[in-house]
A and B are shown apart, each in its own frame.
Chain A
Amino acid sequence: MSGGDDATEQRQTDGDAPAVREEEAAAPGSGSFGGARAPGLVGGAAWTARELTGWARWSWRQLTSMRVALILLFLLALATVPGSLIPQRDANPVLVAEFKERHGTLGGLYDRFQLFDVYSSVWFSAVYILLFVSLAGCIVPRTLQFADQLRGRPPRAPRRLTRMPAYTAWRTGQAPEGVVEAAHGLLRRRRFRTSPAADGGSVAAEKGYLREAGNLLFHVALIVMLLAFAAGQLYRSEGGKLVMVGGGFANTLIQYDDFRSGALFDVDGLEPFHFDLDEFHASFHREGPDLGTPIDFRAEVTYWRAGDDDNEGRKATIRVNHPLTIGDAKVFLIGHGFAPLVTLRDGQGEVAFAGPVPFLPQDSALTSSGVIKVTDYTGPDGERDQLGFQGFFSPTFRLNAERGPHSSFPDPDDPVLTLTGYHGNLGLDSGIPQNVYQLNTRWMEQFTDDSGEPLRVNLRPGESWELPDGRGTLTFEGYERWASFQISTPAANGWALTGAVGAVLGLTASLLIQRRRIWVRAVPDPDGPPGSTLVEMASLGRAESAKIPEELADLAAALQDHAPPLPEAGRTGTGEAEESGTAEPTPEPEQEPEQEPEPEQEPEQEPEQEPGTAAGPSAEPSAGHREGAMP
């Protein structure tokens, strides 16, 4: 990850100013950042400005530090939880209303804390916005740093290679220059970026830059995804429409039963098309353990796009999971049901109402409930009146004590319409918008039998109900089917997908590729026999991976082709040397795995140095970016 660490490192370096200045702060008149306060108004203003910018910079560094990023990430995970446990207004307003009814005070409290709208709440937004600000503040410097590294060369070998996480050494009879040259060639062939030292005694190599690139790509992709998501919310639209078989829908605002759109959605931008629902097919399992569960739903439609000839529509089938895409819009099949066909003759024998009335399914066997409102009705005595009916449509009728009338199968094997009736005022002109699926019986009187019990009838197709007191007849003619559709106009989906693909690719590169450095040094060995050369190799990987020492072993084996070990020195490394007790050319292992400063401003640094360790910009991040190397 190196690159990132530089950035973090740099931030860290001046980021701990407050701690550093604590002593100063103790002195009167001094600030955390501003230094001593010069007397007078100007001095005060300057001091305040210095203080403010100091604290602002400090806060920014905190915000963009790994630790705070981690905390924010964790907070985001926590903040996401309640929305899955408490009903959300956006997804299910009915459940929210029920919840509030059942738990009065708690409901109020939840409302106060926006717990019914978690994902658009102030606190949720605050967490993710902070996180993404932190992310942006993190990426920019890291990218610059990475670009620098790409331009630069791998850093020169540290003086003591033994301190590196993986190390090996042996003695050879070859001349140092030849060994270094061979190592250089070897590393280049293995596609390392290499940089031989000016003195010719060592070579440095680095590989796996794609890791940092992948990591940056991943983090940038997260931002792309967030922006795409936000744009999607702002520019999208979505609406529902219930269409009778034989009926149709045109994509204009007024035709929708319900419509939601993002704040920036342009209603005039609705994709111009219309479609007719020609047929609807539903099939269900008729036996076995899945009795009554759906097999397939199909809506056969004919649609026209703007400019299409009226006579020649295009045919299409819409199924669950297989929406119809028309331009920017997508038409989804989301539900279906029955609409009983009823004819109502009033007291005068005139047809006061005729037509299909969609009933809404209540269960998987399609027991459907609905209401019939007859506004234009004249009573037996010629008085104006209104009628309302409420009831159930059961495609396959069953009646039992426990559930009353209900359906036992979703296909219309034995369709029955069960109704109770009212007359009086439907309350439609009360000014309050009414749900077409609900009857307000406040100002209505129920039809009752002689003993005052409410009348309830079960009608089969073709049967009629003689309303009491000569109020007319209601005939259940049959039923039709309807299907409901959702018409969505998504926005920025392409961007979201691009971001997602980038995130996966970046992550894969970031997590699977190892970035590592390898140093080879060959110097005349003063302790060995005359003319012998000490070859040392070390590698430093970002993550602890077994592959990195293995690779070093591989490379060393390959290099030994050119620089065969001297027999008495054997193929030795420190470990074995210690075990065998033979005198070895390797320096003593250090007690402290601290690395020495590298010659260049070098990245391989812990993403976050413990505060205070880096005293200033000149304090070189030690090469010990390895986890084990933390002081």
Chain B
Amino acid sequence: MILAAEAGLADVGKLLVYSAMAVYTVAFLAYIAEWTFGSRSKVARSAAALATAPEGGPAAGAGEPGGGVRVTVRAAGGGTRELTRPKVVTRSAAPGRDGIPDGPGAAGGDERGDTYGRIAVSLTVLAFLLHFGGVLLRGLAVQRAPWANMYEFSTTFSMVAVGGFLGFLAARRNVRWLGLPLVTTVLLDLGLAVTVLYSETDQLPPALQSVWLWIHVSLAIVCGAMFYLGMVATVAFLLRDRYEGRLADGGTPGRFAASVLERLPSSVSLDKFAYRINAVVFPLWTFTIIAGAIWAENAWGRYWGWDPKEVWSLITWLGYACYLHARATAGWRGRKAAYLAIAAFLCFLFNYYGVNMFVDDSLHSYADVDG
């Protein structure tokens, strides 16, 4: 039963989500401005790098970690002395692509673009805080984990995705380019959540009353959100890879590619970024499925019953396992592995939206005690 005060909380929570959407919209426009101003820069680094770096040769300046970074080394005596780290030359996966530097980012080195980009990121932070508040109030209002129906799931999901993005930014990763695609989809997701998926439901059906709801579902949301970031990076990788490939073959990419893709990180960086996310999240996803199995054993007396939700979790898992395997198999790295990663993420999406909406023969529909 909703008490008046709780109903008030829920309303304020929803209001916060609406405010977050408004701010995301402004952030979206700011990202657009960043990309637009950035398009004026005509640096064309990738092409230059490809033109100069001999095929297969380790190119100078390519991804040199610690290259020229000043480090302070503490001497045994307690004194410190400044020293510049030795430069390390690296070679990476794609011979010939090593030398291609990361693009300059959406702003393309343009000052106004960069200003807009910073504004966009600040707005994203603000929107994230509102978004977070909305989810939190929802949780307080219903007095349980705020992820028990599609509305709650969707709002939490996009919140975690934005949180992950901001976390990467805070860790100084080269991910600002992710802002525009991310905010676009977050807006779509929240739009769906507050309209089609909105549900007043505040109570948990008995089938969901379990600590495993906290563990299993929250993990699933985190995995999904991070896999999503990985997927965006993978799509970017595919585009950028094609672009670099065309340049390497001496072709001229279209104007869109030349302007937009040029500004993305190099295909090597994108691939690594996506791989790292997927590789870190995969064990977590494995654990999520296991937590679900333990819960199912508690609720229904069997840990695995080939229920559609379980089946699609497994398919998603197998998809990502294929991806990781592919990356260790000759002839399957790069684009083929990337397609597998995208397919795996689509399976994840289908599990959340598709199975809930189209497959009705699932115990996970929580309709009744019999369910």
- B90: Cβ under 8 A from any A Cβ: yes
Bound CA span A297–B294, Å: 21
Q: Which residues of A contact B299 (CB under 8 A)?
A: 320-321, 332
Bound CA span A67–B333, Å: 12
Segment of A51-59, A266-274, A574-582 in the binding face:
A574-582
- B298: Cβ under 8 A from any A Cβ: yes
Given known A-B contacts A296-B206, A575-B67, A628-B92, A1 and B60 have beta carbons under 8 A apart? no
- A288: Cβ under 8 A from any B Cβ: yes
Interface string of A593-631 (1 = CB under 8 A from B): 100000000000011111000000000000000111110
Residues of chain B at interface, number, CB under 8 A:
93
Which residues of A (55-72) have their CB < 8 Å from a CB of B? 66-67, 69-70
Cβ-defined partner of A573 (8 Å) among B88, B305, B330: B88
Cβ-defined partner of B203 (8 Å) among A290, A333, A556: A290
Bound CA span A41–B263, Å: 72
Interface string of A521-545 (1 = CB under 8 A from B): 0000000000000000000000011
The smallest beta-carbon distance between B312 and chain A, in angstroms, is: 6
Q: Which residues of B contact A287 (CB under 8 A)?
A: 1
Q: Which residues of B contact A338 (CB under 8 A)?
A: none
Taking beta carbons and an 8 Å cutoff, which residues of B are in contact with A? 1-2, 54-58, 60-61, 63-69, 71, 73, 75, 83-95, 98, 199-203, 205-207, 209-210, 272, 276, 279-280, 282-283, 286-287, 290, 293-294, 297-308, 311-312, 314-315, 318-319, 321-322, 324-333, 340, 347, 355, 359, 361, 367-370
The smallest beta-carbon distance between B343 and chain A, in angstroms, is: 9
The smallest beta-carbon distance between A322 and chain B, in angstroms, is: 8
What would be 23 A-B contacts, judged by CB atoms less than 8 Å apart?
A: A66-B325, A70-B325, A73-B322, A73-B325, A84-B312, A90-B306, A91-B361, A168-B87, A287-B1, A295-B206, A319-B206, A320-B209, A490-B301, A544-B92, A545-B276, A546-B65, A546-B272, A550-B65, A550-B88, A554-B66, A557-B71, A573-B88, A578-B60
Contact B272 A544 (CB under 8 A): yes
Q: Which residues of B contact A91 (CB under 8 A)?
A: 305-307, 361
Q: Which of A229, A333, A549, A628 has the most CB of B within 10 A?
A: A628
- Name the CB-closest residue of B to A335: B370
Bound CA span A88–B305, Å: 11
Q: Which residues of B contact A92 (CB under 8 A)?
A: 361
Contact B331 A83 (CB under 8 A): no
A322-B298, A511-B279 known; 6 new pairs, CB 8 Å cut-off, are A67-B330, A70-B326, A294-B368, A323-B301, A575-B89, A591-B55
- Name the CB-closest residue of A to B75: A561
Bound CA span A629–B166, Å: 35
Contact A557 B83 (CB under 8 A): yes
Taking beta carbons and an 8 Å cutoff, which residues of A are in contact with B? 1, 66-67, 69-70, 73-74, 76-77, 80-81, 83-85, 87-88, 90-92, 95, 118-119, 162, 165-168, 170, 229, 236, 238, 282, 285-290, 293-297, 319-323, 330, 332-336, 361, 364, 486, 488, 490, 493, 496-497, 500-501, 503-504, 507-508, 511-512, 544-546, 549-550, 552-554, 556-558, 560-561, 565, 571-576, 578-579, 589-593, 606-610, 626-630
Bound CA span A565–B229, Å: 43
Q: Which residues of A contact B56 (CB under 8 A)?
A: 591-593
